[in-house]
Structures are given as C-alpha cells and as structure tokens.
C-alpha cells in the first residue's frame, strides 16, 4: 500500500489536537530563517534572508508570510529586492537619497508573481507562499535581499535584530532569537561560495496560539486502511465552544 505525502498530510492535519503547545504530529517541524551576509558596505551590509519551511504538512499560502523584527540600533533599509517593507516610516532626516524604510520594526512581505526582473532575486515573488520541504522541495524556500545602512559593518560589531515575528499569514508561529551559526554554503554548479557570516533563527507553530477558541475538527481515517494513522474517536470543542467544559462529539 502506498500513501502519497499528500494523502498522509491530509489525514494528519485533520487529527491535530487544539490543546497542544506544539504540533505533536510534527514535533521537529519548524521554519528556519537564515540571514546571510553577502557583502559589507561603507555604512552597513547587504544580506539575503531566506525562510525554509521544514514542516511536514503546513504550507504557507497567499497572502503569505509577513516577517517583522526590531532593529538593535538605528539601522535603516536602503533598498530591498524580492520583497518590500510595508511602511516606510519616518525618513524625514534624510536628504536626497531616501531609504526604503526607516522603521524601527519593519514588516516585510513578499512581492507578487510577475514582478519586473530587476526587482527579483532567486526564490522570491510568490505572493508569500512557501510549500513544505516534504511536498514540494523546489518551492520550500522564500528569499529577499536587503541593504542595511547605519549599521556596524564588521563581523564583530554588527548587531543582531530582535523580536522576530512571523505571520503566515495569521498568528501561530513563535520565533526564537537569531544566533550566529556556521556560514551558509551556496552551491552553483561546480563552484561553492560562502556567506561572509550567517545568523539563524527558528519559528515553530502552535495550534493553540493560532486559535484560542478551538474550531471543530474532523477525524478521518485512511482511505486505504483505517489503522494506518491513529485518529481520535471523537472531536472536542464543537459543542458550546464558549463554555469551559466542552463536550465531545462522536
């Protein structure tokens, strides 16, 4: 008997319990965000930020991801390719060359398919959609490039942003702090290059954060064999969902 990944995911998703603080059926699932330094500039650096969807089943679908963070100091974003910051913020002190964003806590969203080539980079411009690595590895990453100014521009002095927050598109993900990790290697045919430095953080999904009042869930057993995946024998929270003691529904 062969279960396609799709069939298996459909079954697993339907069996999630709302009370879990993490996804018990995909305990190692996460979204890993790599912040790869590509070059240093006179007042900062250029980095490529890539999100990898290492979850078994949870696609991110349009309107897609929204990534935000808080700058450590007074950093600005001179320019961005493959994505945009939703609000420019107060750039009034800049004369002539105005940054793409001066917000202390920028929120970044993906560009849409069909974006002009000069604004694209690899893995961008899919309206924020990211497939899971297990179902569609070729579309399991999303990237954008940013040029950061008013930042320290050496490996030792550059400051890591804080309070990373991922919405995909609603709540549900909790992100840890960004940490220095081994530099990412980029394989391009016979040549491998390396980021100057890489920060990495992971975000994990919790059904409970996504929905405080559980919605009804339906248990399905496998189309092929009803013992392949254990499903609960009833669904909870369907009746009187605003009262404390919820009944099970067969």
Ligand X SMILES: *[C@@H]1O[C@H](CO)[C@@H](O)[C@H](O)[C@H]1NC(C)=O
Positions in the binding site for ligand X (CB under 6 A):
28, 30, 32, 54, 202, 225, 227-228
Asked if residue 124 lies in contact with residue 115, where contact means CB atoms within 8 angstroms, the answer is yes
CB of 182 to ligand X, least distance (A): 13
Confirm if 144 and 83 have CB atoms less than 8 A apart: yes
Phi/psi for 230 (5° steps) reads -70, 125
Instruction: Please report how close the Cβ of residue 27 comes to ligand X at its closest, in angstroms.
Output: 9
Are 174 and 203 a contacting pair, CB within 8 Å? yes
CB of 224 to ligand X, least distance (A): 7
Instruction: Name 118's Cβ contacts closer than 8 Å, sequence gap at least 6.
Output: none
- Residue 46 vs 166, nearer CB to ligand X: 166
Q: Which is nearer to ligand X, 20 or 87 (CB)?
A: 20
Question: Is the Cβ of residue 61 or residue 200 nearer to ligand X in the bound state?
Answer: 200
Closest approach of ligand X to the CB of residue 227, in Å: 5
Q: Which is nearer to ligand X, 145 or 204 (CB)?
A: 204
Task: Report, in Å, the least distance between residue 94 CB and ligand X.
Answer: 38
Query: How far, in Å, CA of 10 to CA of 53, rounded?
Result: 17
CB 157 within 8 A of CB 167: no
Select 202 or 235, whichever has its Cβ closest to ligand X. Answer: 202
Least Cβ distance, residue 13 to ligand X (angstroms): 18
Cβ-based nearer residue to ligand X, 148 or 201 = 201
Cis bond leading into 58, ω under 30°?
no
Closest CB to ligand X among residues 225, 239: 225
Closest contact distance (angstroms) between CB of 226 and ligand X is 7
């Amino acid at each position: 008997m062969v279960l396609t990944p799709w069939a298996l995911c459909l079954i697993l998703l339907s069996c999630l319990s709302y009370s879990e603080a993490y996804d018990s059926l995909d305990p190692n699932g996460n979204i890993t965000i790599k912040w790869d330094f590509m070059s240093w500039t006179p007042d900062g650096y250029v980095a490529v930020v890539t999100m990898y969807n290492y979850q078994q089943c949870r696609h991110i679908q349009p309107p897609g991801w929204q990534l935000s963070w808080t700058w450590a100091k007074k950093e600005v974003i001179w320019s961005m390719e493959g994505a945009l910051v939703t609000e420019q913020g107060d750039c009034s002190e800049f004369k002539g060359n105005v940054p793409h964003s001066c917000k202390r806590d920028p929120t970044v969203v993906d560009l849409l398919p069909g974006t002009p080539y000069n604004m694209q980079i690899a893995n961008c411009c899919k309206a924020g959609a990211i497939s899971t690595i297990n179902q569609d590895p070729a579309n399991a990453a999303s990237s954008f490039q940013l040029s950061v100014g008013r930042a320290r521009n050496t490996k030792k002095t550059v400051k890591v942003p804080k309070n990373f927050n991922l919405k995909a598109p609603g709540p549900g993900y909790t992100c840890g702090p960004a940490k220095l990790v081994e530099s990412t290697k980029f394989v391009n045919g016979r040549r491998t290059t390396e980021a100057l430095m890489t920060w990495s953080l992971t975000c994990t999904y919790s059904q409970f954060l996504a929905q405080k009042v559980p919605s009804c869930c339906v248990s399905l057993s496998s189309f092929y064999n009803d013992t392949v995946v254990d499903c609960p024998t009833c669904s909870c929270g369907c009746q009187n969902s605003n009262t404390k003691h919820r009944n099970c529904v067969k």
